[in-house]
Structure formats: C-alpha cells, structure tokens
Structure 1
C-alpha cells in the first residue's frame, strides 16, 4: 500500500512539475503607479485567471502610459497597459518593433484642457489670449495645435507654458496659469487631493468632444510574443476581459485586489478613480455597440491621422499595424455592463 501511495505521489509531483514547466511567464508593466483603474489586472492575477490560462504574469508599476510602449520595445516587458497613440508614434518609424494593442480598454480619450469656472473660459475660443500650462511631450500638449486647427483657433494667440506635470494643478489653483493641458483621470484626482471640487469649480474641455476622436489606453503586447506564443496572448486578453466584466459590476472586488497588490494606496480616492475610468473612458455608445476591447477601423484611421499631424510623423501607419482583434473573446463575452456600487 505504501509503495502504491508513494508511486502516486511521485506521479502527481511529476505532473505538477510538467504543468509548471509549461507555464508561460509574461512580464507586465502598468502605465503608472498603482491606481484603481488598473484593478482588472490585479483581479485576474489574484483570482487565478492568468494561471488558468497557463500564464505566470508578473506586474510592475509604470513610468507613464507612453513609456509602456518603449519598455516593451526595449525588451524589458512582454506586455502592458498603455497609450495606443504612443504605439502610433513609434510604429511610424519602427513598425517592426512597436507593440500591438490587442484589447482597447479606454474607448474615450483622457486628453483635456481644464480651467477654473471663475476664469471666464467657457468655450475653446476663449483659450486665445490665455496661458495654458502643459507638460512638454505629453499627448495633450502635442495635440493642442491639432485641437486648435479643428476648432478654428489661432495657436499664435494661445500661450503654452511648459512645466512639470506635478505643477499644473497647483499653478492653476493659484491663478498662475488660466488652464492646464492634462489627462482627465489624473488631473481630476490631483484636484481632489488638493482639496478642490473638480466638478463644481472646474470646467473640462475633453478633446473627444471637440473633434479629436482618439482612442487611448489598453492592453498591448510585443510582436515577439504574438509571433512566438499567440496562445499566451489570447489567454492574457481572455483573463483580463473576464476580470473587467466582474469589476464593472463590483468595484469593491477590484479594490480588494488593488490593495493586495499595493496596500499603501488611498482606497477612497482610487475607488473613485476606478469608477471614473468606467464612466468617462470605458463606457460609450461605441463600446455598447461593438463590445469592450474592440475598435472601429475607420475611427482608428482618423485617430492615426490626428497623431501623424500632431507629431509631424513622416509615415502614416495603418490601423492593422496598430491594433489586432485576433485575440479578442467572442462578442457575447465582451458585453460590459457597468453598475456603480
């Protein structure tokens, strides 16, 4: 009997070892420091959804949603959460190295100009003769001339003051600048942390509402991973989608996973950020039509055109170079229904 048990135990250990040996490690980078809006990745890891797909996903904090692209291109990471517009920029010059977006999470762009309601700025034309603070190189700052052209503004009449991102809200609060060129999901909560009321006391000019119908952040992977292990890419997308569906109905579930990843986060603020991401960036009429994770090719083509113009790119990538729907779960599995709780 002992021999039988021992043999069975050895067989189990050997089978487990084989399973572990076959598990694919994916090095994943976030777009920034730990935020509630990243909860789907934490939940997929916590609940074993990545593991069920045969994946060992290691998650690191990021240095900016644009930096996600360069981190993957440099080979340090296989996948990450970042800005599709940074893919467009890099694909223009290095199409063979730029990552591919495989799951579009933020259907709406976060790029915005925010002003105090007391500033007297009530429409884009009012930016003329004013000073806007922008961090050099960020999409909002770089695309401002395209925004101006689209809305009939004279850029020579708009003063842009270059500054570090962490100075934008404080300088606007003090009145040193008339408005700031920001990511709404970042700036909104910077204002909250500065004891401001971003809804009552500030006005938001979203680029997407004024002609720049851009896409934004999502799950991207390296071309190397797609070529060498497409099954792993499909599993990564499937697990992330599964977690996002759950969090759409229960944000507390997502926050628990976020705290497990980083117990130093401000839970109240990050839960609001998570909800903000659904309400302002994920849920849209288009998302309801085509399902979360997908895009419309004609809209992507227009978005590529805006980025090519804003960054003065020499080559215009095609939508197929930037986004692949090859790894998306079936449409019925991407029917996201958001319920705030």
Structure 2
C-alpha cells in the first residue's frame, strides 16, 4: 500500500488547499453498480447542493458489483466508495493492512436475495435443491449464499450453480435456463418485470427474512485519506444522508437527477426500484429509531459469527476494523 500513501498525502494537500482558498474539494466516489434507482440519492446530493454546501465537488463512477469498490478504495484509486460490508470483512481478513473501513451503513437490511420463478418450482428455500442456480461470481448476494444455505439446512451439493454474467442473469431466468438467481432484491425483481415475467410468477427470497443477521452495503473510506481529511469525510456523509432524505420525502423529485446521468433509463421503473430499496433496505425500524448510518454492535458481532459458519478467518475478527462511527453525528442522521 506504499503507493497509496503518496496518493493520500497529495490528496490531503489538495483538500487542505481547497478549503483554504474557498474552492470545492474534488472527491471521486465509487458506486457499487450502474446508475439505477437506488443511485438517485447520490445524484440528488449533487444537484440539490448538499455536497456543495459541504465544500465538495463529487464525481460518481458506476461499479460492477457490490464488491467492486473495496479494492478501489483500499488501493487509493478512490478515497470513498459504496460496498458490501460482509465482503469488506473478508477482504480485511485476507489483507489485514489494507487502509479501508466502513463509516456509514446505508442498507441496514441487506437486499441479498435468491430470486426464482414459481412456474419453475421455486417458492421457498428448500425448492432450490435439485435446481440450477445462476450466480455471478462477483455478486454480493452470491457471496452470502453459503450462509443462507446453512441457515436453511439446504443440501448445497444438490444445487447446480451456473456462473453467469450480470447482463445475462435475469434473461436466463426469464427464459427458463435457470430456476433461480442470486442478486439484489430490488434490481433483479424489476429487471424480470421489464423482461415480461409476470410479477405473480416471481419469488423473492430475501436472505434477511431467512436467518441472515448480516448488514448490507455501506459507505467505505480509505482510512489514510480519512485520517487526514476528517472534515471532508464527515461533510460527505452528511450530504449523502441529505440526498437520501430528499429521496425518501419525494422519490419522483430525485428521478431527474438520475435520468440526467442515465437517459436510457425508464424513470417510472427506476422510481419503483428506489422505493423498493427505501422500504425494504434503508428505512428500517432501527434507522427510524436510531438514525441513518449507525449500526448495532451486537448485531455486527452476530454477523461475524454467521460469516464464520462458511468462512475460515485467517486472523481473529475485530469489529473495530470493519466499521467506525467517528465521522457520524451522535445518533446518526435523522430521516424523518
């Protein structure tokens, strides 16, 4: 990571100078996925002036899966990203000196899901036995599937796993070439609807409803950068929370910010996708009571124990390495 130290030092000097002369600090942000509905709050934070109010100029780059941003942030290609915290835990076990941690939970209830079709015999977890499951190797939901299988007593050897690409995942299920797929609930469900699969034929097995205590995607930072730019990180997180607050208050109002960046998107479908994410993954009972961004330490400990069921840690797990609330306000960000 020595090459990153030089990058962080240069960026820290840039940030300091930016605040000193009144110009906005440029902060590249690595998203987890394409510019779809759940990305709208981040673009709203740009267009509604929340990043600007924090003295930041943010450029958002699309990702290729919920694991994608982790090495980008760890190596210093991006100072801030959005990624699956469970994959981050494993990454840090395998790369214990990597300067990366989570600083704000966004998907308090993870969208990891197995999505099947009732007409292909998939209505509950046990139906997966003897079936073909399509799973993209970099998929965050696929990374958690062994825990889902263990919690539900599935015979994994009886499930034929077909490695598939993200672009072909839903089409293969729509065409009946696989009986189920792994994916994010709000993404795969509406992609199938767009492909003409009847909604009453789609089975969504949200892993959090079937025994998983895991958290989902979080804002992650390079810890070297954050140590030298605490105000930048705190301001970034506040702007993100404001973007989500805007989206929750009026999902339709943030769609233009998304469509400006993805003109080919269907605004109605993406608004529905955003609403699904808000209802199922972001605005949970914990968030309503404790604010956005925070975690329950006991739940994170339970999640680590679940990860141990299917992953052999090389080092003793240390929850303090995986998440810090140092850049959050006490009690998180209120969304109501």
- Residues 106-140 of structure 1 deviation map (CA, whole Å, 9 limit, x = unaligned): 11111111121223333322222222222224333
Contact 1:26 1:58 in 2 (8 A): yes
Contact 2:65 2:140 in 1 (8 A): no
Task: Tell me the CA shift for residue 316 of structure 1.
Answer: 4.3
Contact 1:79 1:222 in 2 (8 A): yes
**CA 1:174/1:258 → structure 2, altered by over 3 Å: closer, same or farther?**
closer
Which residue is equivalent to 2:13?
none
Which residue is equivalent to 1:188?
189
Task: Tell me the CA shift for residue 240 of structure 1.
Answer: 1.1
Tell me how far apart the structure 1 counterparts of residues 311 and 265 of structure 2 sit (CA, whole Å): 35
When the two structures are aligned, how many residues end up with a matched partner? 319
Which residue is equivalent to 1:9?
none
5 Å matches for 1:299-338? 299-331=299-331, 334-337=333-336
Tell me how far apart the structure 2 counterparts of residues 247 and 139 of structure 1 sit (CA, whole Å): 24
Residue 155 in structure 1 maps to residue 152 in structure 2 = no
Residue 171 in structure 1 maps to residue 172 in structure 2 = yes
Tell me how far apart the structure 2 counterparts of residues 123 and 63 of structure 1 sit (CA, whole Å): 28
RMSD: 2.2
Task: Tell me the CA shift for residue 18 of structure 1.
Answer: 1.9
**CA 1:145/1:239 → structure 2, altered by over 3 Å: closer, same or farther?**
closer
- Residues 26-77 of structure 1 deviation map (CA, whole Å, 9 limit, x = unaligned): 1111112212211221111112221221222222222222111111112111
Tell me how far apart the structure 2 counterparts of residues 215 and 238 of structure 1 sit (CA, whole Å): 20
Contact 2:51 2:235 in 1 (8 A): yes
Q: Which has the greater radius of gyration?
A: 1
Contact 1:293 1:328 in 2 (8 A): yes
Contact 2:67 2:138 in 1 (8 A): no
Task: Tell me the CA shift for residue 288 of structure 1.
Answer: 2.0
**TM score, norm. by length of structure 1:** 0.86
**TM score, norm. by length of structure 2:** 0.87
Which residue is equivalent to 1:298?
298
- Please, which moves more after superposition, 166-175 or 177-186? 166-175
Residue 228 in structure 1 maps to residue 231 in structure 2 = no
Contact 2:87 2:143 in 1 (8 A): no
5 Å matches for 1:55-134? 55-134=56-135
Which residue is equivalent to 1:34?
35
Residue segments in structure 1 that go unaligned for 5+ positions in a row: 1-14
The structure 2 residue matched to 1:19, chosen from 9, 17, 22, is: 22
Tell me how far apart the structure 1 counterparts of residues 56 and 172 of structure 2 sit (CA, whole Å): 45
Residue segments in structure 2 that go unaligned for 5+ positions in a row: 1-17
5 Å matches for 1:212-223? 212-223=212-223
